[in-house]
Amino acid sequence: MKKRLLGTTGLWVSELCLGTMTFGGKGYWEAIGKLTQGEASDLVARAIDGGINFIDTADIYSFGESETLLGAAIAGKRDHLVLATKVRGRMSPDANDVGLSRAHIMSSIDGSLRRLGTDHIDLYQIHGWDPLTPLEETLRALDDVVRAGKVRYVAASNLAAWQLMKAQGLAERHGWSRFQSVQAYYTLAGRDLEREVVPLLRDQRMGLLVWSPLAGGLLSGKYTFDGNATTTTEAGARRANFDFPPVDKGRAHRVVEAMRPIAAAHEASVAAVALAWLLHQDAVTSVIIGAKTTAQLADNLKAPELVLTADELAALDQVSALAPEYPGWMIDRQSTDRLKPS
């Protein structure tokens, strides 16, 4: 499996990253997956054997259980992995056990280290925006955990372009650790990221880690579509009990139908085509794959080998293209006389 540079860190990470949201399945997370220690350890071992050196989790996944299961699964293998986790989510009913305050970050990093059985996190990501905590407080606390040796690099997830740029500006002004990557939703069924965030990532030399690359399973090819409703015969399908992320079902249907002949031509699954399209996008650093079974993992691991032709990429781009929006269409229009010599 190919490796790609993560932002400006100098770290090489596999172009597929193993996501661990399916580990544990406590409470709210049961609809996504409830893998036991044995199943989680087997998935991790198979992912590593398949060339993956990058694993992502979060303290909020099953309220710490995912980190605990992952920590046991990587025991003895930690030194060869790039390990990422996240902070922000509510971990208990306590009023202060949530958010991006200094207090929550300092207690959360120690909890994650303990559960993961490691002395450092390679990539520590804020899991979203905290509307109550000043960004300066969050960034200073993140820089402090880096200086303490508990974290190597920091990153963000689910932030708007202006929030990311504000964070990078503050980090540069104060000499704090800057965000090296963004973890974000990006699929053929939802390319909104291309409007503002992707141009920012290119400008700031930041990596892009893609979550839910199959749009919560809708791009797996296992669903049938009827208007804005979907059905599947697959037992335990995620969308049946957890209809997330929000997707235009009609758009997803058109995308799936466009992928079917491409999948057949390559003797691959529709899911592999969806993943391969992402790996053809120059802004993407790594695509996070989550699996409930070793069969799903094995199919996902085939995606990096699938090389789409120029015509196939054009067909997929056309069926999934974003509608023009201002100011994007005006910027494109006014750029034409600068990009071509007179």
Q: What is the pLDDT of residues 245-278, one digit of tens each?
A: 999 989 999 999 999 999 999 999 999 999 999 9
Q: What is the pLDDT of residue 311?
A: 98
C-beta of residue 167 within 8 angstroms of C-beta of residue 155: no
pLDDT at 85 over 70: yes
Backbone angles phi, psi at 16, to 5 degrees: -115, 140
pLDDT at 233 over 60: no
pLDDT score, position 244: 82
pTM confidence score: 0.95
Strand-pair category, 3-5 with 12-14? antiparallel
Please give the structure tokens belonging to residue 218: 């809708």
**DSSP secondary structure of 80-115:** G-EEEEEE-S--SSSTTSSSS-HHHHHHHHHHHHHH
> Structure tokens of 58?
């979060």
CA quadruple 223, 159, 86, 178: dihedral, nearest 10: 140
Residues paired with 43 in a beta bridge: none
Strand residues in the chain grouped as ranges (E): 3-5, 12-14, 16-19, 54-56, 82-87, 121-126, 151-157, 179-185, 207-211, 224-226, 229-231, 286-289
- Sign of the dihedral through C-alpha 307, 310, 316, 322: positive
In angstroms, the CA 228 to CA 243 distance is 12
Question: What pLDDT score was predicted for residue 341?
Answer: 74
Q: Which residues are catalytic?
A: 61
Percent of the chain with pLDDT over 70: 95
Other CB atoms within 10 A of residue 64 CB: 22
Contact assessment for residue 289 and residue 270, using Cβ atoms and an 8 Å cutoff: no
Q: Please, which pLDDT band fits residue 336 given cuts at 50, 70 and 90?
A: confident
More confident: 215 or 233: 215
Q: Which residues of 234-269 are buried (b: 16+ CB within 10 A; e: fewer)?
A: eeebbbeeeeeeebebebbbbbbebbeebbeebebb
How many whole angstroms separate alpha carbon 259 and alpha carbon 29? 30
What percent of the chain has a predicted confidence (pLDDT) above 90? 86
